[in-house]
Structure 1
Amino acid sequence: MLTELNRAHPWSHNDHYAGWVVRRVRESRARRVLDIGCGTGNLVARLRDHCAITGLERDPETAAVAAHRFRDDPAVRILPIDFADRDPETRWDAITLVAVLHHLPLDAALRALRDSLAPGGRLVVVGCHRDATVGDALTRLPAVLLNPIIGAVKHPARATEPPPHMRAPIAEPRETLAEIRAAAARALPGARIRRRLFWRYTLVYDDRV
């Protein structure tokens, strides 16, 4: 029953945290931002009023949608590549990833993200983790109950397919929140990680000059 309701009234858990991401980026006073896995550009659209932004999107169809969306915007550049294909010499004032980190090899990705920050830069992550503990179950229960209600409010008309910004390839998270915390402690000392609703966690790391 709940699964059918969720399919009929889809809404983006990632967009739900977009405002939080924008506030964290603005706090950092970043002028050049890299958004990894930018999708069709919903977060890019909210960030571009505050900074110049480059979006990476490895799914060709999704990248094409984003590129067309910002084709006349000098503050935005969309590249149809993966993070591994970036220019390794470029450094960014802020880097954002929303529901992307679990697609990457965790330890290596965290080190590469750290090394891609400019001095004093900020990493902002909204991530997905694998449920494994009682705490996960307790957080999951309200999310399960609230998900169809919010979907019905946001999109009362029944959908026959997901909207374009929810069609990019997905992957199930492999690491638990404890494993993510441990990896962050190794690569990003001082990172702040919080468990969040709707199967998400957040991470903020500031490079110390």
Structure 2
Amino acid sequence: SNVGKSSLINMLCNNDKLAKTSASPGKTQLINHFEIISTAPVSEKSTREVTHKWYLVDLPGYGFAKVSITSRRRWEQMIENYLRKRENLAQVFVLIDARHSPQKIDLEFLENLKKWEVPFSLAFTKSDKENQRLVSKNVKDFLAAMRKTWMFLPRHFITSAVKKSGKDKLLDYINEMNEELAESGKE
């Protein structure tokens, strides 16, 4: 928890006040839905744009939070139910703090996503808070830890809400998914 989830949402939406940020972990205690309306060119050479409406959903974090064990268990069950039963869930972005070496709790959560057959990508956050050599090492080590049990690695992005880095790549990827969903009729 306190991986910079709300800050990343605010960065992606160009609105610093959309998701509430806090220095203490566990601020997000509900499932928050943000309706996003985005436009993208129909093709690289086209001046026409296509509009997509989609939802960015902010779930409580699964890591450390200053809450009771009862609250934590309730959150875990709520998150699991949401991820397993949400039929129109296109992608989960799992946020990993780039300042830290691989954490067991993150790897266990990814194993659950695999078991539940939930599509996901990784967003390494707070890359501005450490020197880039350490960030690169932590990302490399995390992916190496995943390779021990995963045949294929998910897409991953290195982000900083402060410097707005990774924003364009994340939004491009989301637009690609929206295009694929629109073409398949599942939008």
Please state which band the TM-score falls in when normalised by the shorter chain: 0.3 to 0.5
TM-score, structure 1 length as denominator? 0.36
TM-score, structure 2 length as denominator? 0.38
